[in-house]
Structure 1
Amino acid sequence: MEVFLPYLLPLLVLLPLSFYLLSFFRKTGSKNLPPGSNGWPLLGENMEFAFSGPQKFIQDRMRKYSPEVFMTSLLGQKIAIFCGAKGNKFLFMNDDKLFTSFWLQSMKKALLFPEPAKGNFISILKRSYHGDFLKPEALKQYIPAMDALARQHLDSYWIPNSVVEVFPLSKKYTFELACRLFLNVVDPAHIGKLSGPFTLVTSGMLYVPVNLPGTAYHRAVKGGKLVREKVVSIVTKRRKELVMNEETEGRDLLSKMLLLTDEDGRFLSEMEVSNIFIGYLVASYMTTSSAITVVMNYLAEFPHVYREVFKEQMAIAKSKGPDELLTWEDIEKMKYSWNVARESFRLMPPAQGAIRETTNEFTYAGFTIPKGSKIVWTVHSSHKNPEYFPEPEKFDPTRFEGSGPAPYTYVPFGGGSRICPGIEYARLEVLVFMHNVVTRFKLEKAIPNEKILFHAETVPAHGLPLRLHPHEK
């Protein structure tokens, strides 16, 4: 029922219109399109997706239509969902040949400034993602800052309490960290002014895009406007500082982005840079907070797993002085802890997949995919497939020992040329947080069978309340 409520008002508005429109999926012309259904006119299959959850929704349609690719209609788009390791491989291997990035118009309207007329913005955006900014070599310098903020966060919000709600607290931590590292905003008051509207936009941008008062999407649009105003003011101020100080080398990520030029020697505008950093904030805020939460969930659920993580993390803690911060060398020792995190992401993936748009018509599995089609890869067609993962519901970190799962079966971060650029950032953030929690507390679930909801990210219905049992000193 929790998933249904945000759809209620749009449903009341749109449902009467549906009786005047054509209903179900039709193939166009003589092309052999993948099988599937558009569901209800205007509403598509959003309600079925919301009620059943992404995993059941996808598995049911794989059985009904095709285990390789099927059609559906979600978020106002007709979509071809590619399935299994074979589908993942095809999409990832052809990312730059047959597909291009795609953002839902509803998301762009809520989040971003309008795109500039010049196409160079796309190429420079790719350079920012795949350049030096998010590579391990660059991220190493952030580890002490991550550790220091994690300690401060636990001191403020965990230690004073016997029970904490992990999900909202993890969002608070990941957002503050992103503001500090990406925008160099460290004042808690400024971060607070940005986090309120940012929560509104991320909470509502993927609901039915009906911009009427009282809807989640209406709140997202209002929140997005405030976020853009705040971020562009930060960017504009930094550019003025760079010009005034005649800086030619960026001292942080924002400065480096402002000094980056495209092929024509043009600097990005303040709005273009703001769009990039809003994208960074969304990715770091939504997926990493969910990632931290699902890891904490399984550490509390399986004591034998927790014990092994505790041993590994305490060995690292004992090798350091009491005020000595974590380093890259410490992170590299967290082998079992990272396997625990990866198994957590297999069972409860922080993100559900991604949308692409086809740039050329092609044939796949005997079906025609027209140019301009929207296609999706998803974790839910492979992560719990017993063909790839024996006893798929069992939590088993040893799956990732040695060579690990077969290629293209485990895809929480995507793959190919558009693999999530923040994968290493997420790994560091999760492991640093694990270290600080496990070395201070033993964890116990306050709601043993808490329901898990799937929105844009994986969300525990009650925020994952955990009882904290501090270790004896």
Structure 2
Amino acid sequence: MESFMPYLLCLLLLPLSLYLISFLHKKGAGDRKNLPPGSNSWLRENLAFNLIGCQRFFKHRIQKHSAAQIFKTSIFGQEAAVFCGAQGNKFVFTNENKLVSSWFTPSLWKALLPVFAANNDKNPAAIFRNYDLGKPDALRQYIPVMDAAARRLLARPDSVVKMVSLSKKYSFELAFKLFTDVVAPELLEKLMEPISVLSAGMVAMPINLPGTAFSRAVRAGKVVRSELMRMVKERRKELREKGQGEGRDMFSKMLLLSDEDEGYDAMVANFILALLVASYDSTASGLTAVLYFLSGLPHIYEQVLREQMEIAKSKGPDELLTWEDVEKMKYSWNVARESLRLLPPAIGGFKEAITDFTYAGYTIPKGYKMYWTPYSSHMNPDYFPEPEKFDPSRFEGSGPPPYTYIPFAGGPRMCPGKDYAKVAILVFMHNLVTRFRLEKAIPNEKIMFHARGMPACGLPVHLHSHPN
């Protein structure tokens, strides 16, 4: 995650650039009349975001502009209107391709997808759209893989384990297996660190100077893409030699879509990289949130343990979990959902106005950027009474009102991997609690909010084996 010192250094070195960028943003944003209230100061808003963190940043501005239901700001170097509450979420999510379209920051494109061509007639994204991670048949096949991975990682743990690192290892191994059908420990070890650096830099200020998170992300992206291009060549050779008419996994299916071509192969490598980052990042962050609360709330742990031990008692000692087992984890999933409410895996996303429109009495001109964030509803006492309190019962029965709970976004652009993440988290929870009692090594470890909330010290936890 980007530190404050490199960011401050860049601000000191580039005052003229900051002024010019701010000027160009203002000049190119279209009709400035009747925009939502708030500040569009490039310097002040982005500096505040980095200094106080995403949670406090949004909390202060949402409270200040609660009557307006919308406010303008500048985050990740981009001026945008932030839509608040369930109505704001609903408006943004249900008007996809009508009034708004998805938009990604320059740092994401430059670090993650520099050669991706979305309008290519042989776009590998078409394979992904037909490769539904949320289909029960796909998840049924993948649950044993998740179970085996969790068992292996927890087989011989250290007495104190940093749960952030463990979550990342588990999530990255699963993502690599899912998209490439490869599980090579040396390769995973080689790529996990640059993937983590790349993930952090995608939401950093796009200032490519030594020491910045964005600069590190650009370099890390080159390292991973180079390795994936090597894998592309090896997989093409394998497909030729074995004469496989159908790919056994998404990686092979994408390659079979086109004959060998350097431009297309580079696009496949980029797309696989994007899938790896998205799957690994959201799953690892979500699982970390669950483990943070599970290890810190003994009464919650005990109820999860009771549910999971009932499932464990129905299995043989070497029998892997099944879809039917996961469906029984009702309370455990409510615990996970409450964890994701308090520590969402993503702090929001950008949209772009594709036409002029009016919302809550304010004008949003064509081309203007918009932003949605779960903090506008997850921490709203009108939707979640005593929002700071951890209470899994919120999700019993019909659960929260529509568009109030959005850890995976909503509408047609809802995260396609949400069900995959759900199952991956539950499978890991099962293996962890049925083997160990959890004790935080740092009882009062704080959550640091930057681009998302993460335990300040990596969440070190003592794992105590259950007595026989």
TM-score under structure 1 length normalisation: 0.91
Give the Cα–Cα distance (whole angstroms) in 2 for the partners of residues 416 and 127 of structure 1: 21
Alignment-mate amino acid for residue 218 of structure 1: S
Could you say which residue in structure 1 is the equivalent of 2:363? 368
Partners of 2:227 and 2:262 lie apart in 1 by: 21
Which residue pairs with 1:377 in the alignment? 372
Partner residue, 1:46: 46
Question: Is the 1:84–1:382 Cα contact (8 Å) retained in structure 2?
Answer: yes
* Structure 2 partner of 1:98: 99
CA offset at residue 59 of structure 1? 2.5
Q: Say if 1:77 and 1:18 are closer, same or farther in 2 by CA, change over 3 A.
A: closer
- Do 1:4 and 1:47's aligned partners in 2 also have CA atoms closer than 8 Å? no
Whichever residue aligns with residue 461 of structure 1, its letter is: A
Q: Would you say the 8 A contact 2:128–2:250 is kept in 1?
A: no
2 CA distance for matches of 1:30 and 1:18?
Answer: 20
Counterpart secondary structure, 1:114: coil
- Once residues 3 and 70 of structure 2 are traced to their aligned partners in structure 1, the CA distance between those partners, rounded to angstroms, is 26
How well do the aligned residues superpose, as a CA RMSD in angstroms? 2.5
Distance 1:254 1:4, change over 3 A: same
Deviation of 1:188 after TM superposition, in Å, equals: 0.8
Q: 1:136 to 1:44 in 2, by over 3 A?
A: farther
State the SS of the aligned residue for 2:214.
helix
In structure 2, C-alpha distance between the alignment counterparts of 1:93 and 1:30, rounded to whole Å: 25
Deviation at 1:130, TM superposition (A): 5.8
1:312-327 correspondence runs (5 A): 312-327=307-322
Contact 1:4 1:50 in 2 (8 A): yes
Instruction: Report the Cα distance in structure 2 between the residues aligned to 1:153 and 1:279, rounded to whole angstroms.
Output: 25
SS state at 1:72 partner: strand
Q: Which amino acid aligns with 2:275?
A: Y
Q: For residues 30-109 of structure 1, what are the structure 2 equivalents within 5 Å?
A: 31-40=33-42, 43=43, 45-66=45-66, 67-109=68-110
CA distance, structure 2, for counterparts of residue 234 and residue 16 of structure 1: 43
Contact kept, 8 Å, 2:2 with 2:212, in 1: the verdict is: no
SS in 1 for 2:338: helix
Question: Aligned with 1:249: secondary structure?
Answer: coil
Question: Matched residues in 2 for 1:283 and 1:17: separation?
Answer: 31
- SS of the residue aligned with 2:142? helix
| Cα 1:267/1:8, change in 2 over 3 Å | closer
Q: Residues 130 and 385 of structure 1: is their aligned pair in 2 closer, same or farther, counting only changes over 3 Å?
A: farther
Query: Residue 367 of structure 2 aligns to a residue in which SS?
Result: coil
- 2:183 is matched with which residue: 182, 186, 197? 186
- Structure 1 Cα separation of the partners of residues 201 and 60 of structure 2: 27
Against the structure 1 CA distance between its residues 126 and 10, is the aligned structure 2 distance closer, same or farther, given a 3 Å change threshold? farther
CA contact (8 A) 1:146 1:432 kept: yes
Aligned to 1:368, what secondary structure does the other structure show? strand
Q: CA 1:236/1:19 → structure 2, altered by over 3 Å: closer, same or farther? A: closer
Cα offset, 1:76, TM superposition? 1.8
1:6/1:207 contact within 8 Å kept: no
User: Does 2:168 match 1:163?
Assistant: no
Query: Does 2:245 correspond to 1:248?
Result: yes
- Aligned-partner residue type, residue 35 of structure 1: P
Distance, in Å, in 2 between the alignment partners of 1:406 and 1:30 is 34
Deviates more, 1:367-376 or 1:330-339: 367-376
SS in 1 for 2:34: coil
Matched-pair contact (CA < 8 Å) for 1:71–1:79: yes
Residues 2 and 201, structure 2, Cα contact 8 Å, conserved in 1:
no
Give the deviation of 1:141 after TM superposition: 0.5
User: Does residue 207 of structure 2 align to residue 210 of structure 1?
Assistant: yes
The residue that corresponds to 1:195 in the other structure is 192
* Unaligned ranges ≥5, structure 2: none
CA displacement 1:18-38 (0-9 Å, x = unmatched)? 578978979965632112212
- Out of 331, 340, 348, the residue aligned to residue 345 of structure 1 is 340
By relative contact order (CA 8 Å, sep 6+), the higher-ranking structure is: 2
CA deviations 1:42-74 (Å, max 9, x no partner) are: x35111112222222223222333541111111
Q: Structure 1 residue 199: deviation in Å?
A: 2.4
- Matches of 1:421 and 1:394 in 2, distance apart? 29
**What is the distance in 2 between the residues matched to 1:107 and 1:65?**
29
Question: What displacement does 1:467 show?
Answer: 1.6
Match of 1:287 in 2: 282
The aligned counterpart of 1:415 is: 410
Q: Which moved more, 1:76-85 or 1:31-40?
A: 31-40
Residues of 1 paired with 2:331 and 2:281: CA distance? 25
Gaps of 5+ in 1: none
Q: Which moved more, 1:22-31 or 1:94-103?
A: 22-31
Partner AA of 1:334 in structure 2? M
The 3 A distance-change label for structure 1 pair 20 and 92 is: closer
* Inter-partner Cα distance in structure 1 for 2:22 and 2:182: 51
Tell me how many residue pairs correspond in the alignment.
463
Q: Name which of 412, 422, 428 aligns with 2:423.
A: 428
In the TM superposition, what is the alpha-carbon distance from 1:165 to its structure 2 partner? Answer: 0.9
Conservation of the 8 A alpha-carbon contact between 2:54 and 2:450: no
Distance 1:20 1:104 in 2: 18
Corresponding position of 2:222: 225
CA gap of 1:77–1:19, structure 2 versus 1, over 3 A, is closer
Distance 1:176 1:208 in 2: 29
Residue type at the aligned position of 1:10: C
Q: CA deviation at 1:327?
A: 0.8
User: Which letter does structure 2 place at the counterpart of 1:75?
Assistant: F
Give 1:229 shift: 0.9
The answer on whether the counterparts of 2:133 and 2:420 sit within 8 Å (CA) in structure 1 is no
Shift of residue 458, structure 1, vs aligned partner: 2.5
- The answer (yes or no) to whether the contact 1:288–1:426 under 8 Å persists in 2 is yes
Change (3 A) 1:434 1:45: same
1:254 Cα deviation (Å)? Answer: 1.7
Q: Distance in 2 between matches of 1:117 and 1:395?
A: 42
Question: How far apart in 2 are the matches of 1:436 and 1:117?
Answer: 40
Match of 1:136 in 2: 136
Deviation at 1:154, TM superposition (A): 0.9
| Identity value in percent | 55
